[in-house]
Structure 1
Amino acid sequence: MLDNKNDDIFLSRWINGELSPEELHEFQSHPEYKHYAKIKAGADALDLSEYDIDTALNTIKSGKQTSIDSDQNPVIKLWPYAAVAASIAIIFGLFFFNTNDSISSSYGEQLAVTLPDGSEMILNAKSEVSFDKNDWENNRTVSLDGEAYFKVKKGSTFTVNTANGNVTVLGTEFSVDSQASLFKAVCFEGKVRVQSGQEQIILTAGKGYRKIAKSASENWVFEALEPSWINNISSFRSVPVKYVFKELEEQYNINIETKQLDTSIIYTGTFPNNDIDVALKTVFSTLGLQYQLLQDNKTVVLDN
């Protein structure tokens, strides 16, 4: 039960009240039953009278996601069309009980995830997280490759581990960006402790930390209440342009040929994550460069 390819059928029958008394009793004794019941209770409370099922199904098929409202529970938000499409096991597994404890976002996608204690995280494009759901109560630790925004419920220590450093909190809102040679942590509420190599720093609300490659770390202050990419705007503050190109590639699933360009050029600016034409024009005009998006809509080359 809940361990084979018939999981979606079983959960659909449970949702529809079609289990036999014996099956229901067995399911209620399952260690994850209470989690499924909690989600179902929240879904049952939704008002679906105005829900556009056709649009939702098309969204699933296309694999596209619009900007996520960080104040809504994404799992419950996905429930209506998950039930209609009879893909219940997939939805539950993705957001709560993924057998590999690993979740990743695709090109140009923001993915909202609710952790077992109710803490929330939103993944930016081409990012991956993993965590141990079975030991979450005793070990609130997330491993991150890429960028994510966290809203952490108060409780035991919550740690985000990356290849470049760690961020530890008790309950707050913050974001972490970890790439091959870049590590950034930004605190929007509360307090976080950042550990990178031998360096340790405490960030309070409105403060950020960044380290690029072997250069000295940087600190700055800001007034934003959340990362700009939550609202489909990528922003950069004095970073090598190679990171800007990488973000363009991850948001739009393109490849930018940079053989003729010094990618260590420093860039400050923004671009939208929902309009490729505007994004490319914004970045390349700022750099004073001419470019072409080839007919495959996947490759950007620089004009001589």
Structure 2
Amino acid sequence: MFDDKKDDIFLSRWVNGDLSPEELNEFQSHPEYEYYMKILAGADTLDLTEYDVDTALRNIKSNKQTSSNKTSKPVIKLWPYLAVAASIVIILGLFLFNTNDSFATSYGEQLTVILPDGSEMILNAKSEASFDKNNWDANRNISLEGEAYFKVKKGSKFTVTTKNGDVSVLGTQFNVQSQASFFEAVCYEGKVSVTSKQENTILTAGKAYRNITNTPPEHWTFVAQEPSWITNTSSFRSVPLHYVFKELEDQYNISINIKNPDININTIYTGTFPNNDMNIALKTVFSTLGLQYQLLQNGKTVVVEN
């Protein structure tokens, strides 16, 4: 387990690429990992000019020979090195005193983050979240873009803020998804308060809320114990087709190109696809829709032909 106070050589092993895959994976989930990455990146940008001692000595001797009548001692200018040292101090200061923790996932990636109070946040693919760690005890507030599942320890008010609405709890398990004009909150345990642009509502365990722009807000009940994407399955309940296509793109880093203008991307879709097998995922979605598709040789573009 990463502990920079107990393992004095841990960080040097990390910089040298000597960590085991297990150690690296655990370190990457540590709340301080992003700061060490920023410090390392900042240090790499410094231009440390090497000091040529031999040349300097020759110059000193030469100056002494041509200025034998002078009694002043040669002066070595230290300011360039002091400037470098000051730059390092500034870089460290910027990151050590930065109070925001930010996390982001790439295509098909999940990231588990243990929050300062022991609560757990799991980010789905192509999602971003940030919070103020130094003010966490007084203000448990997380800004989210994308999708995340939360297991919240009991304590002060815990709020997930998105551009489409907020979800607040005291201690519970819930999922929030917010992207473009789509906002959804699902409560798996306890009780959550949802505030959107359209309405305020309370969700208890087994209840869900969704709001999509230009459609009436939806409420429904369910029996699942956690979101399906946690176990690598994307599930959809009566959502416009273009959200399904976006999830395919986010999970597999592909681009879906609709050739036929008659295909209605607002068609309502209900179904699932796996997040760990692209071929099966594509077949599952497009066969359900009765559509033909072609994956181009670059492996990144899906052309829907009819």
Q: Secondary structure at the match of 2:288?
A: helix
Residue 146 of structure 1 and its aligned partner are, at CA, apart by 0.3
Task: Provide the rounded CA distance (Å) in 2 between the counterparts of 1:105 and 1:137.
Answer: 26
Task: Provide the rounded CA distance (Å) in 2 between the counterparts of 1:89 and 1:292.
Answer: 37
- Superposition TM-score, scaled by structure 2 size: 0.71
Equivalent residue number for residue 294 of structure 2:
292
Task: Provide the rounded CA distance (Å) in 2 between the counterparts of 1:134 and 1:113.
Answer: 16
Equivalent residue number for residue 154 of structure 1:
154
Equivalent residue number for residue 94 of structure 1:
33
Residue 81 of structure 1 and its aligned partner are, at CA, apart by 3.7
Q: Secondary structure at the match of 1:242?
A: helix
Task: Provide the rounded CA distance (Å) in 1 between the counterparts of 2:122 and 2:171.
Answer: 16
Task: Provide the rounded CA distance (Å) in 2 between the counterparts of 1:169 and 1:191.
Answer: 7
Residue 17 of structure 1 and its aligned partner are, at CA, apart by 4.7
Counterparts in 2 of 1:96 and 1:235: CA distance versus 1, 3 Å = farther
Q: Secondary structure at the match of 1:280?
A: helix
Q: How does 1:65-144 map to 2 (within 5 A)?
A: 80-81=23-24, 91-94=30-33, 99=98, 100-144=100-144
Equivalent residue number for residue 71 of structure 2:
none
Give the aligned length.
235
Equivalent residue number for residue 281 of structure 1:
283
Equivalent residue number for residue 26 of structure 1:
none
Stretches of structure 2 lacking an aligned partner (at least 5 in a row): 10-17, 39-97
Residue 82 of structure 1 and its aligned partner are, at CA, apart by 6.0
Is residue 240–residue 269 contact of structure 2 (8 Å, CA) maintained in 1? Answer: yes
Equivalent residue number for residue 7 of structure 2:
16
Task: Provide the rounded CA distance (Å) in 2 between the counterparts of 1:89 and 1:182.
Answer: 30
Residues 175-212 of structure 1: CA distance to partner in whole angstroms, max 9, x if unpaired?
Answer: 00001011000000000000011511000000000011
Task: Provide the rounded CA distance (Å) in 1 between the counterparts of 2:210 and 2:304.
Answer: 30
Q: Secondary structure at the match of 1:257?
A: strand
Equivalent AA in structure 2 for residue 258 of structure 1: I
Equivalent AA in structure 2 for residue 288 of structure 1: G
Equivalent residue number for residue 204 of structure 1:
204
Equivalent residue number for residue 214 of structure 1:
214
Is residue 140–residue 159 contact of structure 1 (8 Å, CA) maintained in 2? Answer: yes
Residue 101 of structure 1 and its aligned partner are, at CA, apart by 1.7
Task: Provide the rounded CA distance (Å) in 1 between the counterparts of 2:101 and 2:147.
Answer: 17
Equivalent AA in structure 1 for residue 128 of structure 2: E
Equivalent residue number for residue 241 of structure 1:
241
Task: Provide the rounded CA distance (Å) in 1 between the counterparts of 2:188 and 2:209.
Answer: 12
Residue 90 of structure 1 and its aligned partner are, at CA, apart by 9.0
Q: Secondary structure at the match of 1:245?
A: helix
Equivalent AA in structure 1 for residue 121 of structure 2: M
Computing the radius of gyration from Cα coordinates, the structure with the larger value is 2
Counterparts in 2 of 1:145 and 1:223: CA distance versus 1, 3 Å = same
Task: Provide the rounded CA distance (Å) in 1 between the counterparts of 2:231 and 2:291.
Answer: 27
Task: Provide the rounded CA distance (Å) in 2 between the counterparts of 1:271 and 1:107.
Answer: 16
Equivalent AA in structure 1 for residue 130 of structure 2: S
- Superposition TM-score, scaled by structure 1 size: 0.72
Residues 233-288 of structure 1: CA distance to partner in whole angstroms, max 9, x if unpaired?
Answer: 00001110000000000000000012523210111000000000000000000010
Percent of aligned positions with the same letter in both sequences? 62
Task: Provide the rounded CA distance (Å) in 2 between the counterparts of 1:134 and 1:162.
Answer: 21
Equivalent residue number for residue 62 of structure 1:
none
Task: Provide the rounded CA distance (Å) in 2 between the counterparts of 1:188 and 1:301.
Answer: 37
Q: Secondary structure at the match of 1:101?
A: strand
Task: Provide the rounded CA distance (Å) in 2 between the counterparts of 1:157 and 1:264.
Answer: 37
Stretches of structure 1 lacking an aligned partner (at least 5 in a row): 1-7, 19-52, 58-77
